Amino acid sequence: MSDPAMFTEKYGPWAVVVGGSEGIGSAFANELAHRGINPVLIARTQSTLDEAAEEISSANPEVEVRTIAVDLSVPDGVEQVIAATAGLEVGTLVYNVGSEPKYGDFIDHDWDMLAGRLQRNFVSKARLVHHFAGLMAPRGRGALVLMGSVAGFGGSPGFALYASSKAFGHTLGEGLWFELAKHGIDVLTPVVGQTNTPTMVKAYGRVDGAAEPADIAREALDRVTNGPIWIEDKVHDLVAGRIGSEPAERVKLIGERAARMASGNPVGVS
């Protein structure tokens, strides 16, 4: 839905953007503001939130931008978000947090780090979706955008927990798309591949031909009524290949790509 007035009427007046301080999340917040919706940016670091909020406010002076600095990898993080947004009519939730730059075997990672990923990518995600969708349903309108990834279409050696969290998100989004339609709530899971976000550029360098965050945000919001899943154009063939391949061969190829990315080769897993 690209008409700003219609978009605001159906999905406004407030949007919560989890992971909204940079990259795809910041791009979503900018695009939502451009369409007249007031964004609430959520991330861990107040300084990056302030920078993102200033950029959005400068470009869209008619909207109000709020920030919440909170760590969703700890159990009480979600409750802080719920408390801070209690007085707002939130019509859109974008759950974008969770990119994974740390390559390595599952058993070699520190358990505390993995436990944080479980909290952030599974529990916090489900809790916020449950909370905000529960508030949207009586109003008969709203939108959930749950960012997906090519990684969710196959086990990823070196990124095993991350890939499983994306598979979880895909199937959660599909089920909710059907369940929440009767309440007038649109659910979309955008599936993307390599994207030149600050986190990934810092970890692996800028990749020519990779998607740009602003393009993903704009195209996803244009397609929010066309759920349950939107596969970004650049990764259509890759997703099709993973779906149609034999599991052992698929995992082997994904593992080889992940190892190349970790070693500095830009051809990697997303």
Burial, 182: exposed, middle or buried (Cβ in 10 Å; 0-12, 13-18, 19+)?
A: exposed
Catalytic residue among 10, 125, 166, 234: 166
Taking a C-beta distance cutoff of 8 angstroms, is the pair 93, 145 a contact?
yes
* Nearest-10 Cα torsion for 76, 78, 79, 85: 150
Residue in the structure block whose two tokens are 């709203």: 142
- Pairing mode, strands 14-18 and 90-95: parallel
Decide: helix, strand or coil at residue 139. helix
Tell me the C-alpha distance between 201 and 77, whole Å. Answer: 27
Q: Is 234 a catalytic residue?
A: no
The sign of the torsion formed by the CA atoms of 237, 173, 180, 6 equals negative
The span from the CA of 200 to the CA of 261, in Å, is 11
Catalytic residue, candidates 11, 162, 204, 234 = 162
Cα separation, 121 vs 102, in Å, equals 15
Active site residue 103: no
Residues with catalytic annotation? Answer: 162, 166
